[in-house]
A and B are shown apart, each in its own frame.
Chain A
Amino acid sequence: MSSTFTPSRRTVLSAGAIAAFAAALAPRLAFADEKMVADEIKKLYGDKKIDAGKIKLDVPQIAENGLVVPITVDVESPMTDADFVKAVHVFADGNPQPGVVSYTFTPDCGKASASTRMRLAQTQNVVCIAEMSNGALYTAKAEVKVTIGGCGG
């Protein structure tokens, strides 16, 4: 270790360091909001009653990478011909567009559960609607925090 470093006072700003904060500080332009998600749900199901329950929405509390956020939706159902989950829709209320994914299940699935990975532009709510074969609707919501980090330990 020698101390030959000369302070380069005019060093050009590091692109990497700027990127450090860019994600969190992007101007909030043209992002979806709660109303847009509600409108999407209305387009699908009108004013039908939607209950809480039946859905286990598994997302991380804090996204490790906003570009790749794992999401698993698991809906309680016997998945028989008489009683199964027909469809599941996932929305995000803080992305440029509210839609994330829609699933079509069949009794052949045996289990109404699916996992994928999504992009989240900022801290926001992920909203999920499940449509059962008898027409009943259920919903679940979870917040995912998208952070620039900070470390101690």
Chain B
Amino acid sequence: MIDRRQFLQATAAASLLVGAAGLGPLGRVAAQQRLTQADLLRFGAAGTFTLLYMTDLHAQLPPLYFREPSINLGVGEARGRPPHLTDEAFRTRFKVAAGSADAYALTSDDFIALAKSYGRMGGVDRLATLIKAIRAERGADKVLLLDGGDTWQGSWTSLKTNAQDMVDVQAALGVEAMTGHWEFTYGADRVKEIVDKAPFAFLAQNVRENEFGDAVFEPRKTFEKGGAKIAVIGQAFPRTPISNPAWMIPKWEFGLREDDVQKQVDEARAEGADVVVLLSHNGYDVDYKMAGRVKGLDVILAAHTHDAIPEAQQVGSTLIIAAGSHGKFLARLDLDVKDKKVSGYRFRLIPVFSDAIAPDAEMAALVGKIRAPFEKDLARELGRTETLLYRRGNFNGTFDDLICQAMLKQRDAEISLSPGFRWGGTLTPGDAITFDALANATAMTYPACYRMEMTGAQMKAVLEDVADNIFHPDPYFQGGGDMVRVGGVGYSIDVSKPVNQRISGLTELKTGKPLDADRKYVVAGWASVNKGTEGPPIWDVVEKHLADVKTVRLEPNTSVKVTGA
């Protein structure tokens, strides 16, 4: 857009947080003295209204550690483009000083030391403080709070309450609309039950009943804030029935439905919308492509791929906002509307440093009430870790290594498979592995740890299939997420090759021998999308393993060799 003028050239986030740079050796107290709630909230309200956006909370109520990926490869046109930058490349691109609070929040290297300085992040009571403060500053009638989904799943309390805990938290935060993905793993009936009663809208233009194609949810909703009419179109995760159990939502079909997004935009404009927002669970690279093809979108609020990008990205006249995950960030976008058009914006990705923000008393009480019935389980210490346990990374994460080892040992398997989920917190060396932390990496409605036989050829076919979902050069063919984690086996992957040509050198780690294409191997895995999968829940398998080993010490995983990046 030619007439779009950015209020600030450098984002507020970058300019403010550079002030906290170089604190590394000063330690945590110094860091906390420098970083205050007021710093985090400082913005300078601008324009007609404020859009607040949070996404992929994965049911995290208390603050947690969450390490961003050190490997996040982009393929095709996305190569080297945000969010496919990590560590030094990321800091250079966004002018983030090494060792700064921003570096801690947004990158992965030096994580252990920085975690000591800056502490845990997120916590819905801290989010509540920020949201309330911004509403007070701007006037509640000028603030729109949206949630990108993957809010209801990812903790023991959300699993045990069938997501009621998160629905209550969303209501208390004053969420006005959301869309979904993992939400659907509670099954069609439960989703409908929540949506019918919830005080916020559940928007999903791309979910249809699979007979006559009728809409299952409201496709969009118009809000009036600061006198501007804002149409919000919901886009649920288009690949839900492939990535998650279709049998839990047997009468619904999803899909990208790009033409229908365009129809929604056109209808919204015809109804007089000043601003059109896509609340999208497409995943970032899909959103980026869609932004270049659908005309008339002012803002895409990106979710699913958990990317935290400290500046608004722009494709043509569309802004894309990527607000991270797990409550680590609250995105604030002030939009100026003139002559029924967006004429300018100011953006800040606010990092939720839990030690710098006073918890909101009401929300803290609600969290306490939600967790109280489960507190005994949550606090139970299963073991300790001497090394960093984390999830994110295209090929492996140490938390997944732990899960894969547990499956090999406890299920007496030769090979183990763990899905490339991007949710689940991080534990730092010396931390207790509580049941709470284990549930944060495993809690879901289809947790059975199966045991089956697969030939070497089948193993390769599975890895090829999953790799194509991540490294297909056309984002519309991607499913998001990371490579399936493999225990007991190593392999090489050339991410630049086409399907069925990426994976080679499958090797049994124990013997150092190549995998025999025709031999059957005993494979353990979990989170099968198939109905009737049998086996103990994965958290029981890991708990038993921790009871045996007591202390976890994981050396860097070198079993996957990556080329073509």
Contacts and interface: CB of A to CB of B under 8 A. Distances in A.
Direct contact between A and B judged by beta carbons closer than 8 A: yes
Interface of A: 1, 3, 5, 7-9, 11-21, 24-25, 58, 60-62, 64-65, 68, 70, 123, 145, 147-153
Contacts of A147: 242, 465, 468-469, 479
Contacts of B412: 7, 9
Interface residues of B, number: 76
Nearest to B237: A153
Nearest to B446: A16
Given A11-B535, A61-B256, A149 B243 contact: yes
A44 B256 CA distance: 34
B112 interface: no
Contacts, number: 163
Interface of B: 56, 150, 156, 181-182, 210, 237, 239, 241-244, 246, 253-256, 259, 281, 283, 303-306, 377, 380, 410-412, 419-423, 435, 448, 450-454, 458, 461-462, 465-466, 468-470, 474, 476-477, 479-482, 484, 499, 525, 527-537, 539-541, 543-544, 547
28 contacts: A1-B377, A1-B539, A3-B543, A5-B536, A7-B411, A9-B411, A12-B534, A13-B451, A14-B451, A14-B533, A14-B535, A16-B450, A16-B530, A16-B531, A16-B532, A18-B452, A20-B533, A21-B462, A60-B255, A64-B242, A147-B468, A147-B469, A148-B462, A149-B469, A150-B481, A151-B239, A151-B529, A152-B243
Contacts of B256: 60-61
Contacts of B181: 153
Contacts of B461: 21, 24-25
Given A152-B422, A153-B305, A7 B410 contact: yes
Contacts of B255: 60, 64, 70
A70 B212 CA distance: 11
A124 B450 CA distance: 31
B371 to A, nearest CB: 14
A65 B246 contact: yes
Contacts of A14: 448, 450-452, 528, 532-535
A131 to B, nearest CB: 25
Contact of A64 (B254, B305, B422, B453): B254
A16 B527 CA distance: 11
